[in-house]
Structure 1
Amino acid sequence: MSTESRRPPAPPPAGGPLPELVSYLEGLPEPHILFDEQYRILAANAAYRSQFSPHASVVGRTCYDVSHRFNVPCDQAGESCPLARARRSGQRERVLHLHHTPQGEAYVNIELVPLRDTTGRQTHFIEKMEPLRVAQGEPSASGLIGRSAPFQEMLGLVARVGPSEAAVLLLGESGTGKELVARAIHEASARAARPLVVVDCASLPETLFESELFGHEKGAFTGAQTARPGLVEAASGGTLFLDEVGDIPLPMQVKLLRLLESGTYRRVGSTELRRADVRLVSATHRDLGAMVAQGRFREDLYYRLSTFPIALPPLRERGGDIPLLATSLLARVAPARRLSLAAAALARLARHPFPGNVRELRNVLERAALLTDGDVIGEAVIERALAVGLRAAGPLASAAGPANTVATPRAARRAAERAALEAALAGHHGSREELARALGISLRTLYRRLGEIHQRA
C-alpha cells in the first residue's frame, strides 16, 4: 500500500464535519468519500485511496472532476447525479457510473447518503463506491462491454438485482448476450463462489428433460444403469440458468413450478423429496405473454420466473458500442494478430442493422479477419464479410429455380459456405495450403469444395 493510502485524512475545514465522522469513515472496509453541498471532497478513507487514488490526494477537488474529469456536476453533463437525486428525494440514492481509476475507466456502484444539520437541511454527503467487475467500459478480453445509455440502463438493473436472491428473467433477441448477463448476475451475488449451471432448454428433448433437470435413480427407465444427479443438484448453492425457457414442455412446466414454489423436487424413479438451494435466472427470446394467452406457457410459472425482468437492448440500439465491441471481439477471434478496423470499416459496421446482434458482429469480424492479410481491416473486406451472411444467402440458394424459392437451413448454410469460400479466394494470394489453414479446414476439404464450385459454374 502506498504512503498516500496510509496517511490519515486531511482535517475537515472550519465548519465541516466532526472528526469523529471522518474517523468512522476511515475504518470502513469499502471505499467512501465525504463531500459538501458544493461537491467538494472533504475526506476519502483508506479503502478509497488504495483503489481509486493511490498516488495523489483528492481532498479539496470536486467529486465530478475526480470521477469523470467533468468541469460541471454530473447532471449537467448528461449523467445521473446521486447528489441531485438525493436533494429531490430526501433519501439515499444508488446509481451506476463509469469512473476513472488507475487502471482506466470502470463501472462503479455508488450509494449516496445525505447528512442533515439540526435544521434538517442536507449539508454533507457520504458516497460508498463498489466496483462492478462483471462489465467494462473499455475493450476487454471477457465479460460485458459497453458505454451506451441502453447498455448502462441494463447494467444498472444487473447491479441492483445481482446481490439479491430474486428470480430474474432476461428478455431479448437472439445474440444479445443473455448468458453473459446471467453470468454477471451470478458473479455479483453472494453465490459467486458456487457453480453457475446452464440448462439449454431448447436442446433437451421432452423425454429427457425431467431426468436432466432433476436426475434419476438406477432402473428408473431403460438405460438407467446407475443413479445420476440432475442439473438442479449440480447447481446447489449456486445459480441455475434456464436458457430459452419458452421451449420448456408444458408437462415439465408444472414440475418446475413446484420446484420454485416449494424449493423441493424428486429424482425420476424416486419418492424421496430433495431440497434445492439454487438461485434461478432464466432467459428467452420469445414473447412469453403471448404464449400465456395462447395456452402454451403457464401463467403462474411466468410470474414466478419474472420477479425481476431485464430487457437486453439489441445491438442496433447500441450503435455507440460497436467500436468497443469490435476491438474486443477482434482480439478474441484472432488473438495471435494485432488487427484493427479502418475508420470507413467501422462506419460500415455502424450502418448495418445486425439482426443477429453481437453474435452476428462476432461472425462478421471473424470472416473479415480470415479475408485480411494485413493488420488493418478495410471497408471492402467488411462489405464482403457482411455479404456472405446467412440472410444474404437466400438469393444464392433460390437461384436454382422456383422449387427453391424458400431456402432450407441446410441449403442456406451451404450457399453461405460457398459464398464465403469464393470471397476468401478473391482476397487470397498465397498457396492452397495457406488458404486451408486460414479457413480452418483440411486441404482435402478445400479441394472438394473448390470442385463443387467449379461444377456449379
Structure 2
Amino acid sequence: MSHAIPELISYLEELAEPHILFDDQYRIIAANAAYQRQFGQHFSVIGRTCYDVSHHFSAPCDQSGEVCPIAQARSSGHRERVLHVHHTPKGESYVNIELVPIKNEQGQQVYFVEKMEPLRVKQGNHLRQGLIGRSPDFLHMLEMVARVGPSTANVLLLGESGTGKELVAQALHDASERAKAPFVVVECASLTETLFESELFGHERGAFTGANATRIGLVESASGGTLFLDEVGDIPLPMQVKLLRMLESGTYRRVGSTELRRTDVRFVSATHRDLQAMVADGLFREDLYYRLCTFPIQLPPLRHRAEDIKLLAIALLERVAPQRQLTLSDEALQYLSAYSFPGNVRELRNIMERAALLCDGLLIERSHVERSVASNPIKRIQTLTSPSPSDTEDRSLREIERNELRTQLETHTGSRAELAKKLGISERSLYRKLRALDK
C-alpha cells in the first residue's frame, strides 16, 4: 500500500475541501493546501496525531469523551460522519467530519482520509450571539442541522420553550444554499385568526377596514429564503387549511385579491407542543403535520446539557454585562449545574442578568445566583428528570401559575414587553399564557 501514498497525496492536493491523511496510529501523513488555508495552521501538522491537532487531546477521541470516527469506521468497515468541535487559530469551530478508511490487500484499514467542513453557523465562546455547546445531546442536534441544512426539506424543531429554536432555525438557514436570501420569522402565537392571513399572505388596498394601502406578506418578504413559523401549534384550524394549500401548491393569494402568486421559500417550523397529540385530539391537521415534519429535530432541554452550563453562563454574562469582566465562583457554577432550569437557556440568561445586577464586585458568588433564582416572580412547573406529576398535580400547578399571572397583570403598570422580561419569559410565551387565561 505504501507505494500508492504519493499518488493519494497528489490526489488530495487537487481537492477543494480541507483533507488530511493519517495512519492507523492516528499520525498525520499529509494535509492538503485547502486544509492549511481553511484552518490557518502556521505550523506543520505532519507526524502529529489528529486528536492532538484538532482537540488538544493526549489520547484518541473515544478515550477523551468524544465520538471517534476512526473507532466507528473500524467497527462498521465503511466511511463515517460525525460533528466535532475543533480548535483553530480563530477559536473553537463546529466541523463536519467525513472519514474514509483505506484498506490494504488483506482488507485491513491502514490509512484514513478525513474531509473537514466547518458548519456555517454562528458559534463559539468568542461570539455574543450564536449556538454554544459541546454536550453529546447538543452536538447530536447540531449534527442533524448539518445534515438537513443544505437540503430543501421542511424541518420541524421540537423542544421546550427557551431551548433556542429560533437560533437553530437561523443555523438551518445559514447552512443552506439560501443563506444570502432573507430569513423571516412568523410569530404564530401572537397573531389572531383575523390577522394571520393578512400577515402571512399580505393584502390589497381596501381588502378590509383599515387596509389603506397594499401590503406584501411575510411569505413574499421571505422569497428565495427561509420562512420560520415559530410556535406553529398555535395556528388556528381555519388558517391551517390555507397554510397547507400553500405548502402543497406553492401558491397563495393576498387578502382581497384573485391573483395567484407563487412562492419560493423553505419552511422551518417550531413548537413546544405535542403536535401528534393535537392531531389525535383534532386540534391540528394531520396532513399539515406531515408536510411540516419532513425532518424533525429535537432540541435538548438545558437540564440535559450539564456540560454546557458553564460555557453558556460565561457567554451570557458577556452579553448582559459587556462593560464588566464578571466571573463565576466555583460554588455558583455548582449551584447552576444542579438547578433544573424549567425555562431553559432563556431562564439562564435572566438569572445571569439579575445576578450581575446583584453583584457589586467582579465575582458572582453562589448567594447572588440563589437570590437571582428566588426572585423569579412566576412559579413555573418544574420539569425535572424525576417522574412526571399526575394529571391532578399537573392541573394544580397550572392553576397556581395562572393565579400568579393574574396577580402580576393586576399590579403591573408597564408594557407587555416589560412584563414578559419581569416574569423571565419571552413575549411570545406571555401571549400564549394570556390567551390560555381567556379559555
Q: Shared fold (TM-score greater than 0.5)? A: yes
Structure-2 residue corresponding to 1:375: 362
Matches within 5 A, 1:39-438: 39-52=26-39, 54-117=41-104, 121-134=108-121, 136-138=123-125, 140-392=127-379, 407-412=403-408
Determine the C-alpha separation between the residues in 1 that align with 2:328 and 2:5. Answer: 55
Structure 1 residues 352 and 391: alpha-carbon distance in aligned structure 2, compared to 1, 3 A threshold: farther
RMSD, matched Cα: 2.5
Determine the C-alpha separation between the residues in 1 that align with 2:20 and 2:316. Answer: 36
The letter of the residue matching 2:19 is H
Give the drift of 1:317: 1.1
In terms of Rg, which structure is larger?
1
Give the drift of 1:151: 1.0
Determine the C-alpha separation between the residues in 2 that align with 1:335 and 1:133. Answer: 25
2:115 alignment partner, SS class = strand
1:199 alignment partner, SS class = strand
Deviations 1:154-175 (A, max 9, x none): 1111111111111111111111
TM-score by length of 2: 0.85
Deviations 1:372-400 (A, max 9, x none): 22111111121111111023599xxxxxx
Deviations 1:2-44 (A, max 9, x none): xxxxxxxxxxxx9253433322211322211112233221110
- Residues 170, 311 of structure 1: 8 Å contact kept: yes
Determine the C-alpha separation between the residues in 2 that align with 1:169 and 1:311. Answer: 9
Structure 1 residues 66 and 17: alpha-carbon distance in aligned structure 2, compared to 1, 3 A threshold: farther
1:114 alignment partner, SS class = strand
- Residues 82, 95 of structure 1: 8 Å contact kept: yes
Query: Which consecutive aligned stretches of 4+ in structure 1 deviate over 6 angstroms post-superposition?
Result: 413-417
The letter of the residue matching 2:245 is R
Determine the C-alpha separation between the residues in 2 that align with 1:309 and 1:393. Answer: 27
Determine the C-alpha separation between the residues in 1 that align with 2:362 and 2:68. Answer: 42
Give the drift of 1:115: 3.1
**Which structure would you say has the larger RCO, counting Cα contacts within 8 Å and 6 or more residues apart?**
2
Structure 1 residues 415 and 269: alpha-carbon distance in aligned structure 2, compared to 1, 3 A threshold: closer
- Residues 379, 404 of structure 2: 8 Å contact kept: no
Determine the C-alpha separation between the residues in 2 that align with 1:379 and 1:342. Answer: 7
Structure-2 residue corresponding to 1:20: 7
2:2 alignment partner, SS class = coil
Structure 1 residues 218 and 406: alpha-carbon distance in aligned structure 2, compared to 1, 3 A threshold: closer
Give the drift of 1:139: 5.3
Structure-2 residue corresponding to 1:443: none
Identify which range, 39-48 or 109-118, moves more after superposition.
109-118
- Residues 393, 412 of structure 1: 8 Å contact kept: no
- Residues 57, 64 of structure 2: 8 Å contact kept: yes
Structure 1 residues 135 and 193: alpha-carbon distance in aligned structure 2, compared to 1, 3 A threshold: closer
Structure 1 residues 224 and 415: alpha-carbon distance in aligned structure 2, compared to 1, 3 A threshold: closer
Identify which range, 122-131 or 273-282, moves more after superposition.
122-131
Deviations 1:78-125 (A, max 9, x none): 322222222333332210011121123321111112334456554432
Give the drift of 1:248: 0.4
Identify which range, 214-223 or 308-317, moves more after superposition.
214-223
Unaligned stretches of 5+ in structure 2? 382-399, 414-420, 423-439
Structure 1 residues 56 and 414: alpha-carbon distance in aligned structure 2, compared to 1, 3 A threshold: farther
The letter of the residue matching 1:185 is L
Give the drift of 1:135: 5.0
Structure 1 residues 351 and 117: alpha-carbon distance in aligned structure 2, compared to 1, 3 A threshold: closer
Deviations 1:192-250 (A, max 9, x none): 11110000000011001111101112222222222211100100110000000000011
The letter of the residue matching 1:213 is L
Determine the C-alpha separation between the residues in 1 that align with 2:122 and 2:171. Answer: 8
The letter of the residue matching 2:227 is L
Unaligned stretches of 5+ in structure 1? 1-13, 395-403, 418-438, 441-457
The letter of the residue matching 2:143 is G
Give the drift of 1:414: 7.5
Determine the C-alpha separation between the residues in 1 that align with 2:27 and 2:3. Answer: 11
Structure 1 residues 256 and 393: alpha-carbon distance in aligned structure 2, compared to 1, 3 A threshold: closer
Structure 1 residues 72 and 243: alpha-carbon distance in aligned structure 2, compared to 1, 3 A threshold: same
Determine the C-alpha separation between the residues in 2 that align with 1:23 and 1:235. Answer: 44
- Residues 139, 145 of structure 1: 8 Å contact kept: no
- Residues 390, 413 of structure 1: 8 Å contact kept: no
Structure-2 residue corresponding to 1:10: none
Structure 1 residues 57 and 293: alpha-carbon distance in aligned structure 2, compared to 1, 3 A threshold: same
Determine the C-alpha separation between the residues in 2 that align with 1:217 and 1:201. Answer: 22
How many residues in Structure 1 have an aligned counterpart in Structure 2? 397
Determine the C-alpha separation between the residues in 2 that align with 1:406 and 1:229. Answer: 37
Structure-2 residue corresponding to 1:423: none
Determine the C-alpha separation between the residues in 1 that align with 2:377 and 2:161. Answer: 15
Deviations 1:292-336 (A, max 9, x none): 000000011111111111111111111221111111111111111
- Residues 98, 137 of structure 1: 8 Å contact kept: no
